Structures are given as structure tokens and as C-alpha cells.
Structure 1
Amino acid sequence: MPDMQKQITPKKGTSKSQKKASLSDAPGDRIAKYLARVGVGSRRDVERMIEEGRVKVNGKTLTSPAFKVTGKEKILVNDEPIAEKDIPRMWRYHKPDGLVTSHKDEQGRRTMFEALPTNMPRVISVGRLDLTSEGLILLTNDGELARALELPSTGWSRRYRARAYGKVTQEQLDTLRKGVVIDGIPTGEIIATLDRQQGDNAWINVTLHDGKNREIRRALETLKLQVNRLIRVSYGPYMLGDLGKGACEEIKTRVLRDQIGHLIDIPEEKTVTRKPKRGSFASAKRFQDKPAETKGANAPKGRGKFAKKTTEKPKSKTARPPKKVMGKAYGKPGGKTSGKFAPRGHGKGKK
């Protein structure tokens, strides 16, 4: 591989366009994209790590997020080797209120990632919820997948249940469809439907396609409503359902492939070959290829262990005949039966 310093620090007299060309022509993926795919963080997080000098490749500290890697290099983040790339996975998590959705909090508040089960790999969230909000959060080990699901171009809607202090009508909520201006920035379409007015509180169903920080709260404030509870109930095709607070459940790989396979490549699941149970058809079939002498002396050649034996047991002299033959009584000696199936000496006309 070419020397990293030659790629990052071009010779004197090299123009900016030549510098970009030398970086883009190198084989592999950009380091920010690669580390996002293995779950280190989002591209923005990785770029910030590189600026802080926390990423090393083959022993040298990176200074540019445009540096490319093929995956064969020795990459360290915070002087620790990164984990091997795993297949994309995703989880549904019911975030309780009072947890921060970042990995670290400057104010020392407890984060959502500290509350996750200890057996989970390193994951990042798809979008965020503020401190006092609760409900569905999608978690994934693939940064590129998280980024793709957050983009408005994906077209996924996010649905919420909001409880707000104040009184409102459906006609007032319909004005939000055109969007509102918050701090000089217009929002997208906000679909709000009044569920019920319960005393001084209104329950409202809200649907967004491109949610910004505290957008629902600030949009409802324009209608003199104060949101005191906000629950995300779905993100795209994934529903909160009956998932309990603080619970985390992985989404099956085949479901991911059906729903987001067009966004990212998800390899097939490995099939597990199980041994057939004793006595099953598959187990019986194993014996058909064994030599005849291992199947028993009475077994016909080529039939196997489970074939019926052809040699019949000798009949006992004292064995009683069956009680019924073709549905008619056979008759005991001295009985009154007669006719075609009567024993010899007991037929009709015999004395």
C-alpha cells in the first residue's frame, strides 16, 4: 500500500484538485464510511474522532477522513483495535423517559446505551429522542444502515402519541399540514389528528417524515399547547407494539432482508444441519445402504432394518381360532351356529 503520509500530505506545489484526485483514486472505502459500517459510529462521529487524533492506521495517526482503507490494515480507535465487521443487525428498543440517546453526556446523565443488556454488541441509534420523550428507538450495529434509514429520501414516516396541556380543535391541527416556521426554518408537513380531549389535556396522533430536534413540541406550541408526554409508536414499518419499557428485541434477519434489503446488502443466514431423530424416515434411510448381513438373518436383501420379516412363526396347536371371520361368528363346539362358515360336523343337515 502507498505510504499513508504521502496520501494525506501531498508534495509542495500540489493543487487542491490534485490532492482530492490522489485520495479518491486510491482503492478501498473512505475511513469514515468503513468505520461507520463496522459500528464504530456515524460518519460524523468518525470525522470528529479523526479531527481529535483518535484514529490510527498501521501505526500512524490520521488527519483526513478521506483516507481510504481496504480492511486489511491495522486500524485502532482510541488505541484499541476495531471489531471485525459483522452482518447488519437491528433491534427494537423501548426507551423510557429520563435517558439520553447519546453514548456520552457532558452533564453526567444516564444514557440509553448504559441501560441496554450487557450481552449486546456496540450499537448506534437510528435517529434520536430527547430526554423526556419515550417509545421506539431502532438500534443497529451498522452505521451506514443507520444513516440510510434517517434520510428523508428513504420515505419512512415516524408516528407519535402526544399528550398536550390545552384545548384544540381538529381545524386548528390541520393548519400544521402546511408546516410551520421555527427559528426562521420552515418544517415539513406535520399530520396531526385529535384523538380525544380529556379534561385540560388533549391526546394527539402526529406523523412526520423529516423530524427535527423538538419539532413536535415546538410546532404544537404555536397552537398554545404544552406537550407533557411524547411517545414514538412506530418508525417506518417497525412498531413499538407491546414491547415493555426498557425491553430490547432483535429483528430477524429475513425480516430485515425483506424490508431494507434494497438499502443495504444483507447476506443469507447460515443454515444449520440437524441430525435426524432416531426412528424417523431419514434415520431409517441410513440403513438401506448397509450390507445385508448387518440387517438380520431374516430380513430380505436390500430392504433394511425396518423391513418386515418373511419367516412366519409356527402356529401353536392349542391356539384358538379368531372369534370372527368376515364379520360372522366362528362358533364354539356345541354351539348353534350353522351355515357356510360353520365347523365341520355342525353344518345344516348333519347329525
Structure 2
Amino acid sequence: MRSSGSGKSGGRGNYRGAGNDRDQKQGQGRPRKPRPEERRYDVGPGATKDGPKSGRGGAKPSPQKGGRGRTAPARSREYETRIEERNRERYAGKKDVKLPKTFPGAEQEGERLQKVLARAGYGSRRACEELIEQARVEVNGEIVLEQGRRVDPEKDEVKVDGLTVATQSYQFFSLNKPAGVVSTMEDPEGRQCLGDYVTNRETRLFHVGRLDTETEGVILLTNHGELAHRLTHPKYGVKKTYLAHIVGPIPRDLGKRLKDGIQLEDGYARADHFRVVEQTGKNYLVEVTLHEGRKHIVRRMLAEAGFPVDKLVRTAFGPITLGDQKSGWLRRLSNTEVGMLMQEVDL
């Protein structure tokens, strides 16, 4: 039976749907939820249509701690800058801030001490820092304990374990000179000379003292002029040791005679030490140590005493010994050996 249409909603009017009067009445007391194409995602105070603004219809911001449903306002660049400056000031005065090891003295002139030591051959920079930490390095007589100390390699005196460090680009070599090699860096007659062993060096080297052509053994080569001068100067009396092969028998007082002095054409020559190293029948191997550097001094002394030398080898020049270095071999001196040489002549 059909219902009348007067005063009542008939037919499909009782169903909910778009345009239903009840739905419209229920929505009058609260804002309508915007459709996706109507939503605004720009939030924040003072925003315009070209930028963020707050108001109804915006996207839901994430809630902030401390309040239910409260939104966190967007921070401006000025505010972020003030926060950063405040944090910087807060941590600027902290005592436990770790600075780099090379920080002290960084404003000074010169080179860092560990860099100078590393260039001189004492290992990596880290290894040189450990030398400083162990209080083994001193500059101008003062033990260095802090890292980053700056020095002037031209003026400051640097020592490791009490031995002077060659801080500049100096080179030091020991050559076991063979017999027949002339003790010059160049020979106009074309004979084999010391220069033939160092032709590939970037810097010019020169020999410290001389050995006669038939004498073998230790001869030093360097580009350190002051050290070379002092090593050969009689004032410093650097000792040289030789092994000489002579034919005996020899008297027991030969050593005493050499120590007391042998009269030569250019004055007395005295040995500092003498001993017999080996005897095979009439063949003797004797060791002579003296601090003089006159030409052919050992040969002339023994010949004057009645024992001409058949073969002569220099086994030591100051603290530098021949050891097992083969004839004709050139080797670079260690830092310790260089330090001992400088100590020998007060450098």
C-alpha cells in the first residue's frame, strides 16, 4: 500500500545518502572534512598562499611531547642559528675538549719536531712522536715533552738519546775502499777513484781524509763540510785503527817503542795502542791505533821500526767500524753512527 507524500518523506527519502536532510543537519555543528583536492598542507604562523600558514583545513602536524593534540611550530632559520650559537658557547669552555697533539705552538714559525726527526730518518712521524713521549728528544739542551714543538733546522740543536741529529739534508756514507782505488772524487789520469762509487747521488759528496792507493778499509763520504773538517783536524784527535800484516819475528818491546814515539823526517809519530792480533809462523797481524793523520803514517812508523808493511787495512774511523762490510761496498751511516761522529768532534 502506497503512503501519501504529504508531511512525510516517502519512498527513497528514508535512505541515507547525499542530500539527506539529517546528514546536513548533523554536519552544521562541526567543520566539514575537506576533500583531498581541498586540503592544505602549508602550516605555520604568518604563512600566505605562497608559504606555510596555520588555520583550519591544514594537514595534521605531529603532536609535540607534553601535550595531547598540540602541534610543534616550524623553526625559523634565525631561531636555528641562535640555538647553534648557544651550543657553541656552551661547549667552548669545556676543559675535557681533546685538541690535536700538534696544537701547542701551531702559531709559531719553523717545522714540527716530529717532522724534522722523520726526515732525518728516525722513522715515521708517529714513531718520532713516541720518541718525544719517552723524553728522549731535546732541543737546545732542553728535553721536549709536548707534541708539536716547532724548531728551526738551521739554528736549533736537536738531539736524540744525547746524540745530535743532522736536521738538514746531509748524507753520510762509509765505503770499504779496495786496494788500487785513488782517494779522490775525480782522477785526471782516469784511474778508479772514490767518485766512481757515488756517481748516482743527487748531491755532491766529498771524502773525509785519505787512504793511500794500496791501503784498504773505511773511508767516509759526506756533504757535511764542518763535520768533515773537524774529523780530520788534529785538535779533535779522532782515532783511526789499522790492521797491518808484517813479517817477524818481532820484539816484545815493539808496542812500547811505537807508543813512546818513532822519529820520522817530519817529526815524532806516536801510536795510542798496539797489539798482536794473530801470528802464523813469521807472519804477524798487528793492530795499530793512532789519532794522527799524516800521509802514510802507519807504513812509515812500522818501516822505521824495521817491519815494512805488506798489507794495510783501516778497520775503524772513530766510532765507525768496518765490521763485515765487503770490499767495494758503500753503505749509509745510521742515525746513531752520525750522532756518535758529531759527539766525537763536539757538534
TM-score band by shorter chain is 0.3 to 0.5
TM-score under structure 1 length normalisation: 0.47
Considering only CA atoms, is the larger Rg found in Structure 1 or Structure 2?
A: 2
TM-score under structure 2 length normalisation: 0.48
